[in-house]
Amino acid sequence: MLPLGKPAPAGAESLRVGRRVIVVRFVRHRRARRYVLRVLADGSVRLTVPRWGSRADALALLRRELRWVDLQRYAAARNAARFLFRGELFPLRTEGTPPGEVCFGTERTRMRPGESARQAATRHLRVLAAHELPERLRALGDAFGLAVKRVAVRSQQTRWGSCSPSGDVALNWRLVQMPDSVADYVLVHELMHVRERNHGRRFWALVEQACPGHRQARKWLKAHGDELA
């Protein structure tokens, strides 16, 4: 199993901080060693609280970092009309296209009644992922001599992928938003679980052999995982 490196949002609260109203998600993480403050793509704030921490100290951190939060929220607002696809941010374009269509990068799709451009783009990528990811996983499996029984593409909230004891693999559709090298690392990670079920030394030796760039891929996931739709 490859976790997202972040727990699912544990509810949201609209809090007045100074003169601002900020949507804050408090997430208590048992493995966190410190408080972590992050501004999400929608402009809300996620505050990760370590097991020994308190809500009061988390809010104190938010108040100290308000200027930084404002800058990040401004950047998020500017990026709201852009969409991550294969590791690149593309503008969501509706002008200069046939009525009801949205384009980004090489992709285009029609918007359904009442659907926003971002919702249409997300739906389009989920369909693309359902066709593309199982094919790529099986191709990599053939290259490494590993058979996968079944592949499911889902909207997982806490992991990029998983492999069951029976060899069934589940993949997060958001992999198509990543650079190809990063998505391939996730696929290789799950494939190596067919051979080694745990995350011990033998497992990481297999990953290293199959995907020498896995460290860079993991750094990308940690830095950009929150930017995915």
What is the phi/psi pair of residue 44, to 5°? -80, 170
Q: Do residues 86 and 179 make contact, with C-beta atoms less than 8 angstroms apart?
A: yes
Which CA distances in Å does 95 have to 88, 99, 197, 205? Answer: 20, 9, 49, 50
* pLDDT given for residue 11 in this prediction: 62
Give me the torsion for CA of 67, 72, 78, 83, rounded to 10°.
-170
* pLDDT given for residue 78 in this prediction: 63
What the chain holds in terms of domains, given with CATH numbers, is 2-79 (no CATH), 82-120 (no CATH), 128-227 (3.30.2010.10)
Q: How many whole angstroms separate alpha carbon 32 and alpha carbon 53?
A: 10
| End-to-end CA gap in the chain | 21
**Could you tell me which residues come within 8 angstroms of residue 31 by beta carbon, excluding any fewer than 6 positions away?**
none
Positions in the chain short of pLDDT 70: 1-11, 76-80
The pLDDT tens digits of the residues spanning 94-126 come to 877 788 899 998 899 999 998 888 899 999 999
